[in-house]
Amino acid sequence: MSKKIHVSTTVNGESVEFLCEARQSLLEVLRENLSLTGAKEGCNNGNCGACTVMLNGVPVNSCIVLAVEVEGAAIETVEGLACHGHLHPIQKCFLEGAALQCGVCTPGFLVTAKALLDKNPNPSEHDIRFNLANNLCRCTGYDKIVKAVQAAAAELQTR
Amino acid sequence: MKAFDYAAPTSVADALKLMEPPHTAALSGGTDLINRMKDYVSSPERVVYLKDIDALESIESSSKGVSIGAGATLAALLEHGEIKKTYPSLWKAAYEVATPQIRNMATVGGNLLQRPRCWYYRAGNGLLALKDGKSLVREGDNRFHAIFMTDGDALFVNPSSLAVPLIALGAKATILGPKGERTVPVAELYRVPKGSQERELTVQHGEILTKVVVPATHAKNASYEARHKQAHDWPLALASVALEMDGQKVGSARVVLGAVAPVPLRSEAAEKAIEGKALNHESATAAGDAAVKDAKPLSMNAYKVQLTKVAVKRALLAAVGDRYWEEG
Amino acid sequence: MAAWPKEPRLIGTKVPRLDGLAKASGKAKYPSDVRPEGTLFGVVLYSPHANATVKSIDTAAAEKMPGVKGIVVIAGQGKKLRFQGDDIAIVAAETEEQARDAVRAIKVDYEVLPHCVTESQSMDEKAPQVFDGGNVRKARAIVKGKPEEALEKADVVVEGTYSLPVITHVCLEPHGLTAQAEGSSKITAWASTQAVTVVAGELAGSFNISPADVTVLTEVMGGGFGSKFGADIWGRTAAELSKKCGGRPVKVFLDRAQEHLAAGNRPSATGHVKLGASKDGKLVAMIAETYGTGGVRGGSNFPLPYVYDLKNSSRAHAEVSVNAGGARAMRAPGHPQGCAIMEAALDDLAAKLGMDPVEIRVKNLAEVDNVRGGRQGETINRTPMYEAQLKLGAELIGWRDKYKPRGENGKGVVKRGLGVALHQWGGGGAADKQVSCTINPDGSVEIKSATQDIGTGARTILAMITAEVLGLKPTDIKSNIGNSTFPPGQSSGGSTTTPSMSPPCLAAATQARAAFFNKIAPALSTDAETLSLKDGQVWVNGEPTMSWKDACRKLGMASISETGKFADGLSSVGVGGCQFAEVEVDTETGVVRVKKIVAIQDSGLIIDKLTWESQVYGGVIGGLNYGLFEERVMDPTTGVMLNPDMELYKLAGASDIPEIIVRAYETEEMKNRGVIGVGEPPTIATAAAIANAVANAIGVRVPDWPMSPRNVLNALASKEGKA
């Protein structure tokens, strides 16, 4: 039963194939098989959001997705946000606005925020807070995170 | 989690065949099952992944109502204009479930058939959490447990937020199994288990919930959920109402309670209290009071009686657009 | 001797953290991300029982399982297990799944013993003993003046019982490390820790080698809050497993449940308090009997009376042992508990007197409350500081316009209320720390110390100080910390890191600059005294003459390296602060929503305003979680924790967080004190201020934290019952 299954998928725009056990989570495969350690394991049961990645364009908790489920899917991780060495405006605004401290929650926030702005370029403060409900931060008080998302939205609008 | 065989069929027929052997579990959104597997609360030998079956995902509306595939995600449900317009009770309940990440994965079928969140069950004490014949829940920390039907041993609460409005709206569930298809009212998906060997769900081994059909309605309907946190929390009490109006008065009413009993609970007492009355604070309060007449809270959850009262009152008033609690 | 610059260019400004880029791009490698070639995964088998003895343990079947490379038994036959989560054995295997499978294949025969996991269970006369010698250790009361007599003469007395639950640290990155042993003589470990040197010492001790042969690396890490000072049994066992497995690295990080169970917590606190005052609101006496549990470790005592001037007081504390994981320092150990109980009682007294809560606080500050000034022997009276802070805070929350006496907050179901609380903390520097500063011929500058950045900004602060002295940008400095082999650095705890590390950093940079001037002056045909540094240039007699890089080339082949030591007069100790909360309480549902928090904090000279502010925000959210959500729930029957997760162990999400206003109280007098830490103080008063705001809103004290619907509705129901 612990035989390995072959999975073909796309990660950050590149075709990727891997072998995994059916019981391995997408998070584990990203971190252990593909060495993409940007997504973090905070709670391992879908509550803290540190493992958030985009699956076919929407954010999900990769710790409660089986890796075998992503056959044929497109995955984006925090490592794919920056483009040719240029930070995505969300990353820049998090950095400049001190919206991160210990930083373990940050990749999850960045991916969730990007998903929000992709869908809703001009979110209200309520929209931002509502959409970040799955991402827990123990350090920042969220205030600067919300402001960073607002700043990124403004910057993206002027492009 | 224990190792298991994995299959990802693309048709319902294939899925049914794969579901035949014992110790098989259907995987849809995975937001409940995968966690149970990680905690060794459920250890299936085979997992059948249903999300590759396109037929299970569709949401279709017609003059008869709306048919929601069991595999439709909660995110898809929320984006469906007809549901938001005609069934605000269902829309609101789905809106308050979990988080964006979870709603992107979790499905309507999974929400209906998820297992209880009772922390004794999740800690591996079995569904009824009996130890030496005594209920751990009754003796222990039952702050989140049932306040109705508490004479028996099933003291967990049904965790489905969608079942509550679906029952109020008279929805029916279609179940496909080796013996064919059957359709039951959503309320009949649930039962109070009589013993440790019985599940709280009526869906049998080898069966798949395929869709839920909500009939067309003109009923004013609304849901109200009382919860501790704003972000990502479970309801402490939930009420959904569907009201057929007779002029200014309530003609017939359906009032359903969630998170307060081992099954989603229809409150006929509350329905009787509001039927034939004009809907206002006084009648809504009376209906809330009636709803909890039979409540028998456990040692630590008397506060849920108050929350249930208020949930009923607020759901009723919300149905006619009165959200007085938001005015401060 | 080095002194803080009078007109700083960088110090006191807002500088984004230097490791922010790595963190925001997902490239930062946390200890739990590091995978040296050949890493094995360690999984801990821990006790499922609250109290048991290991009758026998058999690892034979587990050893033979696929991928298993080594097992170390921690609790062998006859060993007592005192709480759920107590370590039994660790398995190292090729994959995590294999290690988990093997852990389940270890056969342990337990003699399950009766337990007590709650204070009330433990305090029962017939309770089983957690340790020999009794479950309740009651200390003799500390008495000041004549409290009984004074209380009898008091015009007004309030009496109440207030309680706060055990909470856990919930660092987002779990505890653990990856260890690689080279035979028995050397160890390298990548540890998620607040103290690389402590971890190195512990690992060295367990291998009986010198700490110099251990390298502990913590480039970045994911939160500690006081719980991550040591290698812990799991870390020491990881090193042992690595040795056992021929030097393959072994990674042992706890899972979320173990984090709650075994990796520390803040003790509970219950206080029965009698507080008396004269008619004009001046406190005359306090009598408090308190208890709390730190699980199997103790340490539940907390400061009480707190902040305010009490000439007569009696305080007796009882330490209650229970079969639950041991307490560890958690952000301002003891203070949040003492603050919550003191401030609640004081507020109840103010309500009884019909006095304004701000006024009663001002009235009861000590006439003289001296803390250290900038230099040894200098003092500063904290009372006028508190007064000024209260004035500023009241203004920012809109106290004058919004405050209504308790219970007079309108007729609607949703009531608004305001609350306030004061706090204090130490936070001074340690005198034995060092920083080295190296200037290289290529113009690069590196500072080194065996301290670490736990998310606070330590790395950035050290770079700022160095850049200030050398006329460079913070990003020009390689701020190399998180390595135990570097010059001795401070553990990140007690708000001591910045005050410990800033003085030696300033000294190192200042010494290096002097050496640099001496070295290059001849090449510039001038005297060292004529040289200065600014904007990346070397200035001669006030004129920019040569770029920093070109000047460094004049060093030839030799770098300059200076080690700075701690010097007195650059940092201080002892801060105050106040916080205000505005809440909305739905009186029908008991749901509390915090609308606004105002946090006023002094902490001497602030180096980086940006990371300083972040620290205060972080303290406030910690306190808000304590006030509204967090609670470790233990099951009396089975002895296990019922919510060892991040779901029913509730933590605020973005929509639960209000507007937070942070203000530094930073007068010239404060700046002259030098650097003081800020990690702890801003988390102390939040839960107290919130609870006071709730009482103000609904007209009745909610005596039990957190301010959950259950606790609020129960308080409202008891009020109706009495009426």
Q: C358 and C284: one domain?
A: yes
Stretches in chain B below the pLDDT threshold 70 = 328
User: Does the residue B209 lie in any domain?
Assistant: yes
- φ/ψ of C27, rounded to 5, equals -90, -15
**Radius of gyration for the alpha carbons in chain B, expressed in angstroms and rounded:** 19
A127 touching C (Cβ < 8 Å): no
- What phi and psi, each to the nearest 5 degrees, are found at residue C446? -130, 130
Residues C424 and C360 in one domain: yes
Residue contact B303–C710, C-beta within 8 A: yes
Domain-ending residue, one of C565, C599, C615: C565
Exposed / middle / buried, residue B41 (Cβ in 10 Å: 0-12, 13-18, 19+): middle
DSSP state of B39: T
Amino acid C496: pLDDT: 94
Q: Which of B134, B98, B141 is nearest to B118 (CA)?
A: B141
Looking at the structure, tell me whether residues C437 and C508 fall in a common domain: yes
* A44, closest residue in chain C (CA to CA): C256
Asked if A94 lies within 8 A of C24 by C-beta distance, the reply is: yes
CA atoms of C6 and C633, how far apart (whole Å): 52
Residues A102 and A66 in one domain: no
* Residue of chain C with shortest Cα separation from A41: C173
CB atoms within 10 A of CB C251: 26
Predicted confidence at residue C374, as pLDDT, reads 81
Strand partners, C142: C315
Predicted confidence (pLDDT) per residue in C154-169, tens digit: 999 999 999 999 999 9
Do A58 and A126 lie in one domain? The reply is: no
Residue where a domain stops, chosen among A32, A60, A80: A80
Does the beta-carbon distance from C651 to A136 stay under 8 Å?
yes
Which of 382-411 (C) contact B at CB < 8 A? 410
Span C624-629, mean pLDDT? 98
CATH number at residue A133: 1.10.150.120
| pLDDT at res. A85 | 83
Rounded CA-CA distance C461/C449 in Å is 13
Chain A residues closer than 8 Å to C647 by CB = 43, 45, 47
**B-contacting residues of A 72-111, CB under 8 Å?**
none
Largest distance between two CA atoms of chain C: 90
* End residue of a domain, out of A46, A80, A114: A80
ipTM value for the complex? 0.98
In which domain, by residue range, is C530 found? 20-28+429-565
What confidence tier does A118 reach under pLDDT thresholds 50, 70, 90? very high
Nearest to C713 among B1, B131, B306 (CB): B306
Q: Which two three-digit tokens encode residue C65? A: 């399982």
Nearest chain C alpha carbon to B136? C637
Across the A/C interface, how many CB contacts are shorter than 8 Å? 177
Residues A116 and A55 in one domain: no
Tens-digit pLDDT profile for residues A65-75 = 999 999 999 99
The model's pLDDT over B146-205, given as tens digits with 9 standing for 90+, comes to 999 999 999 999 999 999 999 999 999 999 999 999 999 999 999 999 998 899 999 999
Predicted local confidence at residue C721, as pLDDT: 66
- Using CA atoms, how far apart are residues C546 and B144, in angstroms rounded to an integer? 72
Q: Residue C226 and residue C230: Cα distance in Å, rounded?
A: 10
Residues of B in contact with A66 (CB under 8 A): 6, 27, 30, 34, 49
Task: Inform me whether the pLDDT recorded for A148 exceeds 60.
Answer: yes
Does residue C599 sit in the same domain as residue C699?
Answer: yes
Q: Is residue B65 part of a domain?
A: yes
Same domain, C412 and C438: no
CA nearest C709: which of C605, C536, C587?
A: C587
Please give the tally of structural domains in chain A.
2
Which of C515, C549, C565 finishes a domain? C565
Instruction: Kindly state the tokens that stand for C131.
Output: 């340790």
pLDDT at C472 > cutoff 90: yes
Average pLDDT over residues A128-150: 95
C148 belongs to a structural domain:
no
CATH code for the domain in which residue B76 is found: 3.30.465.10
Inter-chain residue contact B101 with A47, CB threshold 8 Å = no
Could you tell me the pTM of the whole model?
0.98
Give yes or no: residues C633 and C716 share one domain. yes
| Cα angle C586-C591-C593, degrees, rounded to a multiple of 5 | 90
Share of chain C above pLDDT 90, in %: 97
Q: Is the pLDDT of residue C516 over 80?
A: yes
Tokens of B48: 């059948």
Half-sphere exposure of C501 (CA within 13 A, CB side): 36
The answer on C586 and C520 residing in a single domain is no
In angstroms, the separation between the Cα of residue B59 and the nearest Cα of chain C is 30
Write down the pLDDT at residue B140. 97
CB contact under 8 A, A133 and B99: yes
Q: Higher pLDDT residue, A83 or C519? A: C519
Q: pLDDT, tens digit, for every residue of C520-536?
A: 999 999 999 999 999 99
Chain A nearest-CA distance from C618, in A, is 5
Between C269 and A2, where is the model more confident? C269
- The verdict on C279 and C306 lying in the same domain is yes
SS3 A44: coil
Residue A45 and residue A13 in one domain:
yes
Chains with 3 or more CB pairs closer than 8 angstroms to C? A, B
* Domain-located, residue C5: no
Q: Kindly state whether residues A76 and A93 are assigned to the same domain.
A: no
Residue C658 sits in the same domain as residue C637: yes
Interface test with B, best of A6, A7, A53, A60 (most B CBs within 10 A): A60
Chain position carrying tokens 């109440």: C160
Q: Are residues A106 and A46 in the same domain?
A: no
Rounded distance, CA C312 to CA C309, Å? 9
Paired residues of C56 in beta bridges: C109
Interface of A with C in 48-67 (CB under 8 A): 48, 50
Q: Are residues A100 and A139 in the same domain?
A: yes
- Looking at the structure, tell me whether residues A121 and A139 fall in a common domain: yes
Is B110 a domain residue?
Answer: yes
The last residue of one of the domains, among C509, C537, C565, is C565
Nearest-by-Cβ selection for A139 from C33, C223, C655? C223
Cβ atoms < 10 Å from Cβ of C143: 14
Rounded CA separation A89/A95 (Å): 10
Mutating which of A134, A135, A142 best tests the B interface, going by the most B Cβ atoms within 10 A?
A: A134
The pLDDT score that the predictor gives to residue A1 is: 54
- Which member of B3, B136, B302 has the closest CB to residue C637? B136
Q: Mean pLDDT, chain A, as a whole number?
A: 96
Query: What ranges make up the beta strands (E) of B98-138?
Result: 130-131, 134-135
Please give the pLDDT value at position A2.
64
Which domain, by its residues, includes A101? 89-157
Over pLDDT 90: what percentage of chain A? 92
The answer to whether residue C256 sits within a structural domain is: no
Length of chain B: 328
User: Could you give the number of structural domains in chain C?
Assistant: 2
Task: State how far residue C354 is from chain B, nearest Cα, in angstroms.
Answer: 25
In this structure, the answer to whether residues C273 and C286 fall within a common structural domain is yes
Query: Roughly what angle, to the nearest 10 degrees, separates helices B303-319 and B281-291?
Result: 140
Q: How would you classify the pairing of strands A74-76 and A4-11?
A: parallel
Name the residue facing A105 among C28, C96, C172 (closest C-beta).
C172
What is the average pLDDT across C538-556? 96
Instruction: Give the separation between CA A113 and CA C24, rounded to whole angstroms.
Output: 13
Nearest CA in chain C to A24: C97
A159 falls in which pLDDT band (50, 70, 90)? confident
Beta strands in C261-375 (DSSP E): 265-266, 269-277, 283-293, 313-320, 370-372
Question: How many CA atoms within 13 Å lie on the side-chain side of C659?
Answer: 9
Among C1, C10, C6, CA closest to C470: C10
Alpha carbons C124 and C669: distance in angstroms, whole number: 53
Q: Which one of B6, B8, B100 has the shortest CB-CB distance to A131? A: B100
Last residue of a domain, one of A80, A113, A139: A80
Residue in chain B lying closest to C257 (CA): B39
CA-wise closest residue to C239 among C229, C252, C255, C222: C252
Q: What are the Cα distances from residue C564, in Å, to A85, C447, C479?
A: 37, 10, 15
Give the pLDDT mean for C65-92. 98
Q: Given B136, B236, B327, which is nearest C709 (Cβ)?
A: B236
Residues C451 and C414 both lie in one domain = no
Averaged pLDDT for residues C124-151: 96
Whether the ω angle into residue C8 lies within 30 degrees of 0, i.e. cis, is no
Which range of residues forms the domain containing residue B110?
54-114+158-326
The whole-angstrom separation of Cα C120 and Cα C127 is: 9
Residues whose CB is less than 8 angstroms from the CB of residue C326 and which lie 6 or more positions away in sequence, other chains included: C83, C264, C265, C294, C295, C296, C297, C298
CB B261 within 8 A of CB B158: yes
Distance CA C223, CA C451 (A): 15
pLDDT at C199 over 90: yes
Residue C722 in this model has a pLDDT that exceeds 60: no
d(CA C197, CA C214): 9
Supply the pLDDT for residue C373: 87
Question: How many distinct structural domains can be found in chain B?
Answer: 1
Give the closest of B141, B301, B328 to C642, CB-based.
B141
Do A34 and A51 have their domain in common? yes
pLDDT at res. C723 = 41
* CATH code assigned at C622: 3.30.365.10
Distance from CA of A146 to the nearest CA of B (A): 14
Same-domain check for residues A27 and A73: yes
Question: Looking at chain A, how many residues does it have?
Answer: 159
Tokens found for residue C492? 């990140």
Q: Report the C-alpha gap between C447 and C564 in whole angstroms.
A: 10
Shared domain for A136 and A93, answered yes or no, is: yes
Report the chain C residue with the minimal C-alpha distance to residue B135: C637
The reply to whether A112 touches chain C by the CB within 8 Å rule is no
